[in-house]
Amino acid sequence: METRNIGSLKVSIVGLGCNNFGRRLDEKATADVVDAALDAGINFFDTADVYGETKSEQYIGQALGSRRSQVILATKFGNKIDDQRYGASPAYVRQAAEDSLRRLGTDYIDLYQLHVPVPEVPIEDTLGALNELVQAGKVREIGCSNFSLDQLREAESAVAPGGARFVSLQNHYSLFHRQPERDVLPECGQKGISFLPYFPLANGLLTGKYRLGKPFPEGTRLQSPRGAELLSEDNLKIVEALIEFAESRGHTLLELAFSWLASQAVISSVIAGATSPQQVYANASAANWQFTQSDFDAVNAILAPKN
Which residues are the active-site residues?
A: 51
In order, the DSSP letters of the chain are --EEEETTEEEESEEEE-TTBTTTB-HHHHHHHHHHHHHTT--EEE--TTGGGGHHHHHHHHHHGGGGGGSEEEEEE-S-SSSSS-S--HHHHHHHHHHHHHHHT-S-EEEEEE-S--TTS-HHHHHHHHHHHHHTTSEEEEEEES--HHHHHHHHHTPPTT---EEEEEEE-BTTB-GGGGTHHHHHHHHTPEEEEE-TTGGGTTTT---TTSPPPTT-TT-SHHHHHHT-HHHHHHHHHHHHHHHHTT--HHHHHHHHHHTSTTB--EEEE-SSHHHHHHHHTS------HHHHHHHHHHHGGG-
